[in-house]
Structure 1
Amino acid sequence: MQIVETTNEGLKRGYSVTISAKDISARIENEVKKIAPQVRMPGFRPGKVPANLVKKMHGAALHSDALNATVQESVDSLLREKELRPAIRPDVRLADDYAEGKDAELTVELEILPAIEVPAVEGLKLERLTVSISDEKVDEALAELAKNQKSFKDAPKTRKAAEGDQLIIDFVGKVDGEVFEGGSAENQPLEIGAGRFIPGFEEQLAGVKTGEEKTITVTFPEDYPATHLAGKEASFDVTVQQVKVPGETTVDEDFAKSLGLEGLDQLKGLLRGQLEQETNGLTRTQMKRQLLDQLAGAHDFAVPPSMVEAEFNQIWAQLQQEAAKEEDPEAALKEIEDEKDDYRAIAERRVRLGLLLSEIGQANGVAVTDQEMQMLVMQAAQQYRPEDRQRFMDFVRQDPMAAAQLRAPLYEDKVVDFLFDKAEVTEREVTREELEAAIEAEEGAAEAKPAAKKPAAKKAPAKKAPAKKEEAAPAEDKPAAKKAPAKKAPAKKPAAAAKAEEAKPVAKKAPAKKPAAKKAPAKKPAAKTE
């Protein structure tokens, strides 16, 4: 194999690689020897088919496999020899005039990760803002729970159901006169005006009484998840078993027991724990932003443009989606367009922080354990249909890139925890409102100075900000060389491993996520249910 460097500019590298026809031919011969014992051909005993006939039968496939394998090994060898750490998967191209029997001429282009001097982890100073959960806050949460936990009591049989009332109904749904699966139920609670059933269903039951029977007609939405019902008209034969009116919820022992608890004290304890968990999460967010700001302010190094572009595209896509939901989408889009450079600088900051955290973690032995990784894979597999979960888990185990993408968020959190332990931390008790204000102030500061030694950028409006923009792009614990494909179309990434800055997996295609349920109950899809 011959290697000639063609590009060396900043973080960009380019190489011309020549693989001799002799090496490719030798690999083909080895493959023939491996498969010959399994080849069957009329007129020959098993395992006695001549090599030239085996090559004649399977020559094209053998040559293709040998070429791909040789190219892959050559690129891996190039990365090792030149001690390169690709930022993304190298772009490998085979010369257009290549033909069997000729030397293979490859063009390999890539961006490498920068050489980063691992910073000292001593000297970090952080302030932890804590919130004490008072009895008054617990009582407020209890009152809010009671308010949202509606109770209903039986109404007189002469009462006509109105908005806010609850009906207990039986119904049978039909399309074109035929009962359809999932369209029937008994003793089904329905609150008029709650908007939990398909449009028109609840409204037509206003005015009914206990014991009344009524047939209503509705049309399933065009985007209904059960495609065989989407857009179709259906009739429902409804029997009203009971009309109920809202009752006042009293916070007492019986209320707690109605929630499956032993009593009111247990309920208050659970609510206190929930509030503490929420404020602890806010405290961690506030500390993490302090930490990232200190790291960003102390380090400035070149980052791979391709990683910045991928991170920016992810931020930009989210901003556009949010802008499209505004009352005036055109004005919202113009607003973010005016601040496009600011968001690109934020993307650069995130990539730089991600690389920095990765280097810190590797230098200090931070790692995701096999058991933790197994839990991550199992949790991600729940996004898929039951029959596809094993395929997804096999996919992640076989594809290093997909595994790295899944591992990245947990790895970053572990590096952050490591730095928390090393930092000098002071505590100050504040109210929850003060803690939330501190987080917003730190977010604004991060947006105003997205990268160290960069010109100040205009603060973006809070409601347009992309989620988690203050955080680093997820760092990987091993951003080392990845394998490069040899002119093979990459398979579609699974959603669980779809970080934009990563290369696309090439191995098996990940199973499709489980679709919306095929059953067609009268209720709206869960995403639209209040």
Structure 2
Amino acid sequence: MATAVETLGKLERRITISFPLTDVRTEVEKRLKVQARTAKAPGFRPGKVPLKMVAAQYGYQIESEVLNDKVGRAFNDAANENNLRVAGFPNIVPKEEAAEGQLAFDATFEVYPEVAIGDLAAVEIETVQADVSEAEIDKTIDILRKQRVHFHTKGEAGEHGDGGEPIAANGDRVTVDFVGAIDGVEFPGGKAEGYAFVLGEGRMLPEFEAATLGLKVGESKTFPLSFPEDYHGKDVAGKTASFTITLQKLEWAHLPEVDAEFAKSLGVADGDLVKMREDIKVNLQREVAGRVKARNKEAVMDALIKVAELDVPKTLIAQDSERLAEMTRQDMAQRGMNVKDVPFPAELFADKAERRVRLGLILSQLVGDNKLQATPEQVKAQIEDFAQSYEDPREVLKYYYSDRRRLGEIEALVLEENVVTYVLGLSKVTSKAVAFDELMGSNAQA
């Protein structure tokens, strides 16, 4: 039996559930008898253990199971009878006062909110577009060349030349010994032997790189170096040290020529440079299209959040915060980080979780109202699009269709794209061209 639904807040509700104690005892006895058929105990054959001994061993566990089953079933029945859409899990606690011979529990929970979506025709959304020009292809080739760089001793003649005058310059790889001291005292981390870095890449502080420029092998230089106030080494942050560096090795960078061999290294079997550039262009266009789609989807989602009114269940936010915290922990562990004793407070993810839950509720409303569910044909087309960049597209299809969870991820992706298309079709859309580098961000840098 359940009482009438109490309204405690905008979304919070409470129901009191009760049922006869005899129902629990009857069910416990029934389950104990079933357990006794296979119970084992020293001195007794299986199935011949006295019921009292079975009750002593399994009674508490079985009673807990019976209570959980009855309370859960009673709560679900009450929710269905009252047409309640329960968000998350209820908080169920025993009720102190109950009628004689009855067990009573208070179930406090939240319900899904009403979602009011404003006039999409009045919404203004700015989308982006970007092109891949020959300059972007050239820049990508330069990046690929730098990824295949070879270093040779500077000043020594070789197959590719001698690299010029044997003094340290930007682009050279230098190997140095160095020692630093503050007020004449060496400090932890301020000394190294055989330390290699490429000049001009910004790996070292500017004063360190400036002092290395112009040195020849065997030469040393002493110079002051001021550590920034926000330097990661707290013991030296904001202090000035005296460093002495000695150049032990000097190498110049040889970038591979853009020739047939270079093309072959990129997977162009016949070394055709025209085909190489076309392959690079296709890959860049695919990457640009993906980023444009992501940016435009984000713009649509931002617009939906502004135009929709709803209260977000705290229960769902808490659950998603826990999920995000665990996903972060697993991701860091997979990257080789030791996170065993690292705390991941769910509260840190609350803002992101609130946005995710809010959007989920809005999308669910839009999809249901406008029949925007993903069709099997759309799902297949999306997987086939993914498969284009793999050697064996059939294996990609098999990968997704063999696992319902993976297929569900694709369905969710298609559903979001359906919503984006629907919203853009109704709203006031303006398009802005963005530069390739801006769109690609740090990935466009060498």
Could you tell me the TM-score, scaled by structure 1's length?
Answer: 0.47
Residues 1:55 and 1:311: Cα distance change in structure 2 (over 3 Å): closer
- Per the alignment, residue 360 of structure 1 pairs with 366
Question: Measured at CA, do residues 46 and 434 of structure 1 come closer, stay the same or move farther in structure 2, by a change above 3 Å?
Answer: closer
Q: Deviations over 1:241-274 (max 9, x none)?
A: x986422432222222344543233432332123
2:139 matched residue in structure 1: 140
Report the CA distance between 1:147 and its aligned residue: 3.5
Match of 1:182 in 2: none
Q: Does 1:14 align with 2:14?
A: yes
Q: Which runs of 5+ in 2 are unaligned?
A: 176-193, 205-211, 219-247, 325-348, 384-402
Secondary structure, counterpart of 1:249 in structure 2: coil
Name 1:445's counterpart in structure 2: none
Whether the aligned pair in 1 keeps the contact of 2:151 and 2:253 (CA below 8 Å) is yes
Match of 2:56?
56
1:411-490 alignment, distance < 5 Å: 412-422=412-422, 423-424=424-425, 431-433=433-435
Are the equivalent residues in 2 in contact too, given 1:6–1:16 (CA < 8 A)?
no
Deviations 1:181-239 (A, max 9, x none): xxxxxxxxx982169xxx9xxx9xx969xxxxxxxxxxxxxxxxxxxxxxxxxxxxxxx
Match of 2:283 in 1: 274
**Percent of residue pairs identical:** 22
Letter in 1 for 2:364: S
* Unmatched 5+ stretches in structure 1: 168-189, 209-239, 316-342, 377-395, 398-402, 441-529
Aligned residue for 1:366, secondary structure, equals coil
Change (3 A) 1:43 1:161: farther
Instruction: Tell me whether 1:253 sits opposite 2:253 in the alignment.
Output: no
Q: Deviations over 1:86-133 (max 9, x none)?
A: 3332212224699xx964321211121113368999999977643332
Change (3 A) 1:194 1:62: farther
What is residue 109 of structure 2 aligned with on the other side?
Answer: 110
SS of aligned partner of 2:312: coil
Once the two structures are TM-superposed, the CA of residue 291 in structure 1 deviates from its matched residue by 2.7
Larger RCO (CA within 8 A; separation ≥ 6): 1
Offset of 1:351 from its aligned partner?
A: 4.2
Larger radius of gyration: 2
Aligned length: 317
Structure 1 or 2: more strand by fraction:
2
Quote the Cα distance in structure 1 between the aligned partners of 2:419 and 2:113: 22
Contact 1:121 1:419 in 2 (8 A): no
Which TM-score applies when normalising by structure 2? 0.54
Distance of 1:69 and 1:114 partners within structure 2: 28
Aligned-residue offset at 1:368: 9.8
Tell whether 2:140 aligns with 1:150: no
**What SS does structure 1 have at the residue aligned with 2:86?**
coil
C-alpha distance 417-435 of structure 1, shift in aligned 2 (>3 A): farther
Change (3 A) 1:250 1:31: same
8 Å contact from structure 2 (residues 128, 292) kept in 1: yes
Deviates more, 1:251-260 or 1:18-27: 251-260
In the TM superposition, residue 289 of structure 1 has moved relative to its aligned partner by 3.6
1:38 and 2:45 matched: no
User: What's the RMSD between the two structures over aligned residues?
Assistant: 5.3
Q: How has the CA–CA distance of structure 1 residues 154 and 347 changed in structure 2, closer, same or farther, with 3 Å as cutoff? A: closer
Taking the aligned partners of 1:4 and 1:407, their CA distance within structure 2 comes to: 41
Structure 1 contact 357–412 (Cα < 8 Å) conserved: no
